[in-house]
Chains A and B, each alone.
Chain A
Amino acid sequence: MDNQKLQTDFIEIIEDNKKLIYKVSHMYCDNADDVKDLFQDIISNLWIAYPNFQQKSKVSTWIYRVSLNTAITWFRDYTKQSNKIEYTNWIPNIADETDRTVDELCDQLYRAIDTLGKIDKAIIMLFLDDTSYDEIAEIIGLTKTNVATKISRIKLKLKEYLSNN
């Protein structure tokens, strides 16, 4: 496949799954600059991995895996930003600005999820996104039974946090 075709296909995949990358970036960063950096790193890692993507698993599973792995292995402390490409509009904005109550509730939700560990965050995000237990198990590297147990525990933790706050 020539490079131009590869790029066109890749951009199409990214466009179709940008919501997912956006959610992961927001889930693992607490300020706008970091979100932008992580979003860019995820795209970069997906592009590097794309030529070897065998389509054995679903595209969304592959994107979840690379995105979450990028977030988990993201070393914000160790690096300098000199090689970053600075784009003010790198992260897409939400065009619909009408419903602010959803934003407030989402902030509450993110705050609750933020109390969880990195892997628990990934599990609950996949769960909330209606990913099947089989797929969660494949992405996270647990058995299906362990996923179910983990989700019950995370639900309890979140419930406890939400009832206290």
Chain B
Amino acid sequence: MEIEELKTIWQQYDNRLDHLEKLNKKLILETLSKKPQKKLNWIKYRSFFSIFMLPVVLTLGLHDLFRIENIDLKFIIGSLLILVFVVIISYLNLKGYMVLKGVDLSNNSIIESARKVTEFKRLFVRKRKFNLMAFPLSFAGILLISWKSFHFDSNTIIFLIGVFVFSLALGYNQLKMYKARIERLEKEIQDLNESIE
């Protein structure tokens, strides 16, 4: 099939679309009045709330441990580990939000939009990878912060090992789940970059 034939087929297709039924005006009006949640906005809001979610959840969960008598070297190291984790995740969420905030479907060119989407996907992949890699450190951080609350008898140790193994298994499962998604996203990013070049 030659390119000219493609154009002819497209023209035939276009002519066939002349027979499209009239759009259901009632349904469109109903949709417009209900303002269905757009995918892009949903992700934008999620990114925005994620910036604050982790610090708030951790502060609420750990605030009881922040007492003068608890502060020692372990506590400080634990706090630093958690702080680094929270700062990096919040930074990646903030960057993602800023990228999506800049998307203007009405005025951006297709290439501008593609660049922003690529950047957002890259950040998404980076965040997932970081989450999985930093899990043992964040676990250690929480453990060190709450060190004084534990009485290290055999039950506690078994419980902690159980929690660690369970979380690690969960993390590993997530890694497997995201691996395919990450590979697909990376291929998409590569395709987009090739198209832009």
Contacts and interface: CB of A to CB of B under 8 A. Distances in A.
Interface residues of A, number: 68
Interface residues of B, number: 56
Contacts of B181: 77
A60 interface: no
Given A11-B28, A94-B20, A128 B110 contact: no
Interface string A28-45: 000000000000110111
Given A44-B38, A65-B106, A85-B36, A109 B191 contact: no
A142 B111 CA distance: 8
Given A14-B23, A109-B9, 15 more contacts: A15-B22, A43-B28, A48-B38, A68-B110, A69-B105, A69-B113, A72-B114, A73-B113, A76-B39, A85-B34, A89-B27, A94-B21, A103-B16, A119-B192, A140-B111
Interface of B: 1-3, 6-7, 9-10, 12-14, 16-25, 27-32, 34-40, 42-43, 46, 103, 105-114, 116-117, 181, 188, 191-192, 194-196
Interface of A: 7, 10-11, 14-15, 18-19, 22-23, 40-41, 43-45, 47-49, 52-53, 62, 65-66, 68-70, 72-79, 83-85, 87, 89-90, 92-96, 99, 102-103, 105-106, 108-109, 112, 117-120, 122, 128-129, 138-142, 155, 158-159, 162
